[in-house]
Structure 1
């Protein structure tokens, strides 16, 4: 199996990367000059696999992305750094780091050092189930309905845990939670007059993009995908065509920013130096059941009707944004990066296994977690998820197509690992991790890759089940992401950087690079093309993250 870890090792050694024709990329890297780049547009089409890019370009089903690839570089072997949930996936793109340094494992995770939101003096137990999702907006206070697109316009105080810092008990907002700085902060701090903007799927959970300073993104659009659309009385994730309505908000926000306004279009503002958005339509179409027209038709990534339509939609959206850049004479000075936070697994429906959350059940049955499920969000005293009344110091398990385990009692780790290894089969009570591509990480091996669990943030055990396994019995979805299965870790990555004269026909255009890369390499590459030192990103310096091949030689 090609793992993200293997890609990391290869990427670290490939300073003189070669494309599939054997050409030395470093020798031609100076064909681009950062002086020509005044803006960088980063777009995440969540769920976009490399195979999706290859298929749609070959079939002329994504003409706008194909034109971008013709003028740029396509990386065919790009992977997430070990985990593929939206938080670590986006953190890779904007910090240059894996969960080991960025500290983001999932939007719903656990930290042994934190105190409950209600513990304003930090005098109670430590160990909090951190939930930075749609419930981070104040609409969700006391379990309220998510009735506003902007999440209610403020943070839900019941979702914000506490930490003891320099003797004081302080709130830990998402921007306090991320452990390293972001490229938005670096650009603002090192480029005079720089402006930054971003649009994502949760109005307040993505506050961490601001970085530890809390000020990295000048214009962080407040759009909440789980809010109730007044026109339909449902949120925007029920069907992919409804998700298009939500993603259109992001398209309009980018158009406004290109036109010299803020994301709302109400106020004049400089065109951002670094800006972009997340799109959810493709992800929703991929997750939809095959029986309803969602997902893929075969192991060759042949898109089903919903995925095919979603690819058309995201390509048209890209075309609208690029057309606006050209209309405003900005295309010749704007680098454009199209990629994804994560893929989706399994694309081959024949590999799908949904036996329920057998991992959590096994842990509960053996008293490694409360047998009644009294931990995490399920342990709220009120019955409302994430309203600040949850139990503390319970441990936690996060499952999708991966299992992240924070033990209630860390001294039980060896016993837990033994229990898991004794139950690897797909037969009850097994966890369906008995194949050659499955693994259980713990101890020194896990610490080397993801950080030391003793410090509080890193899971004690990570279970990667067989590809195709989703720890759910849900009948509404046939694909998921979060782990390191081939389908949710292997992503599309197309990078267009204008040449010094803005002719769009530079000798590096239309290049395909097959060398293994990680999505963490996107962030230092953005800084490189803007003329900044990649090591200004803390994660880049700590992990030694290289820039992408073709941009790894000289100044730009």
Structure 2
């Protein structure tokens, strides 16, 4: 492959008036039509695939070793971005939001699948008259199977929302339910494509059946075919969830492979009904993520700091490459390969790949906050305190503040006036010895105040955490023996992702681009591929997100 050191950016003038007023103006509409006129219908469909956990180093290694021949063929025919990163947080929600909204958590408002919002009322508070401040949980318990702490017995999460997971907001004096699609603060590529392309159809498949309803965007109708598959449901064949081992996760990911094949064949994701081939569609895959998290002692993770895969990761990459081959083969079989752009990337990476850096001292961050009375010392805050002991049973406490930890710490204070005291306590306990939070290295930081507001938005508005703690790379705030890697933060292994983009009739096939890019640039690039104005995405306009290098102009 020929390495392209740097593409020439083509600056795009977007004044404040355009951002605030011109999103739906005649000017944008006219340029939209101009773009489509000059696109020559080269791209009629865009397929977005997220292999969660896929690092750039995984892509380079597997291509060079011939371990992923199908991905290698796409790279040979397309462009590989070797310096792609997530926009600051690497949980599944902000990671996917970057890809489909073009925005960071600052505009999309998604910080984690389990987070907090000071403006919301409890699900049981249907009149919005009680306390405010709700711990929002949009994971497997968002499906009705989890109502009252029930077992997750159905692949589709029970076929409806868990009403105990739906908080309320007071909007223009009216108390309204806040579903996941109401929770996201910006529109998505699915909405834009449906609104801008005549006869367009959209589809997506992900790991949680109901929490990912936010992909529909604020309209609630962006995704025509949102496959309802729940990875934490009980597989009747094994009586366990699909995450117990990577080889079992393959069975779950196969549902998504089959959904994509059915959609390529002109059916819906179930294969039961006739439907047009989606204009924008895709799926998430979890096999690699599960293999990476598995303890090194059992064959999970990586063997060294050079990303040499262990047995489970090797097998997971081989599986995913085979799945990619099946999908591409079906596109060719249906004569769609020459009109379909394919993007392979990830929501997030996984950390630490170098097992020698792993530190698991328990959740010292939460314990430190509790010990100093910044949170209830007995853990009675948010959804950590429910009558059934299960999340989203509707009995969590209101107005308590919250802390979310994995290999990052997000802190929503019960009393924002304590900010200075909390920051001092954290800075006084940076070491790795108890009660320290293991954030004393050069890549660790505590983000708060104006710097945090500039990057993630003002906490006073209710959604943004008051403090973000990035511990030393390799630290996971847990004592669990079931995982040796995690994600969510901004450690290098979390944020540096694989990104391969194939377009039909590409003029720059087989090239490497080493310019630093963000995964937020994928969303406006998808619109550009379809001849649509990237600024139709609100986050793109607000954050000034550019298309990927090589896609700045109308012809590519």
Structure 2 length-normalised TM: 0.94
What residue in structure 2 maps to residue 114 of structure 1? 120
Secondary structure of the residue aligned to 2:321 is helix
Shift of 1:38: 0.2
In the alignment, what sits opposite 2:16? Answer: none
Name the residue aligned to 1:302. Answer: 308
Instruction: Please give the alpha-carbon distance, in whole angstroms, between the structure 2 residues aligned to 1:22 and 1:389.
Output: 55
Counterparts of 1:353 and 1:434, CA distance in 2? 13
Q: Pairwise CA RMSD of aligned residues? A: 1.3
Distance in 2, matches of 1:22 and 1:305, equals 34
Q: Determine the C-alpha separation between the residues in 2 that align with 1:343 and 1:82.
A: 12
Aligned to 1:133: 139
Q: How does 1:142-181 map to 2 (within 5 A)?
A: 142-181=148-187
Aligned pair in 2 of structure 1 residues 364, 163: CA closer, same or farther (>3 Å)?
A: same
Deviation at 1:296, TM superposition (A): 0.1
CA contact (8 A) 1:256 1:265 kept: yes
Q: CA deviation at 1:383?
A: 2.6
Offset, 1:245: 0.2
Task: Report the counterpart of residue 551 of structure 2 in structure 1.
Answer: 551
Residue 4 of structure 2 contacts residue 514 of structure 2 at CA under 8 Å; is this kept in 1? no
Q: Tell me, yes or no, if structure 1 residue 525 matches structure 2 residue 531.
A: no
1:471 and 2:477 correspond: yes
Partner of 2:421: helix, strand, or coil? Answer: helix
1:268-307 matched pairs, under 5 angstroms: 268-307=274-313
Does 2:401 align with 1:371?
no
Contact in 2 for aligned 1:34/1:531 (Cα 8 Å): no
* Distance of 1:455 and 1:423 partners within structure 2: 29
Partner of 2:264: 258
Matched with 2:324 is: 318
Q: Give, in angstroms, the shift of residue 385 of structure 1.
A: 2.0
Quick one: which of 436, 442, 445 aligns to 1:430? Answer: 436
Q: Which residue of 2 aligns with 1:267?
A: 273
Contact 2:531 2:554 in 1 (8 A): no
| Structure-2 change in CA distance of 1:368 and 1:70 (3 Å) | same
**Maintained 8 Å contact 2:4/2:511:** no
The Cα of 1:20 is off from its aligned counterpart by 3.9
Aligned-partner Cα distance in 1 for 2:141–2:52 = 21
Write the distance in 2 (CA, Å) between the matches of 1:481 and 1:384.
Answer: 23
Matched, 1:235 2:244: no
Inter-partner Cα distance in structure 2 for 1:117 and 1:237: 29
Q: Report if aligned partners of 2:58, 2:498 keep a CA contact under 8 Å in 1.
A: yes
Deviations 1:155-189 (A, max 9, x none): 00000000011111111000000000000000000
> Secondary structure in 2 aligned to 1:36?
coil
Q: Secondary structure at the match of 2:182?
A: helix
Q: How many positions carry a matched residue from both structures?
A: 529
Q: Measure, in 2, the Cα distance between the counterparts of 1:449 and 1:24.
A: 26
**CA distance in 2 between partners of 1:453 and 1:49 (Å):** 31
Structure 1 contact 73–513 (Cα < 8 Å) conserved = yes
Aligned partner of 1:48 among 49, 54, 61: 54
What residue is the counterpart of 2:87 in the other structure?
A: 81
Counterpart position of 1:245: 251
3-state SS, counterpart of residue 528 of structure 2: helix
Whether 1:516 and 2:522 are equivalent positions in the alignment is no
Report if aligned partners of 2:446, 2:469 keep a CA contact under 8 Å in 1: yes
Deviation by residue 1:111-134 (Cα, 9 ceiling, x = unmatched): 000000000110000000000000
1:33 deviates by 4.3
Q: For the structure 1 residues 255 and 462, does the alpha-carbon distance in structure 2 shift closer, same or farther, using more than 3 Å as the test? A: same
CA deviation digits over 1:260-283, x for unaligned, max 9?
000000000000000000000000
Cα 1:24–1:242 change in 2 (3 A) is closer
**2:496 aligned partner:** 490
2:456 pairs with 1:450: yes
Say whether residues 1:105 and 2:105 are aligned partners: no
CA contact (8 A) 2:7 2:515 kept: no
CA distance in 2, matches of 1:492, 1:151: 31
2: CA distance, partners of 1:195 / 1:386: 33
Report how far residue 22 of structure 1 moved: 4.3
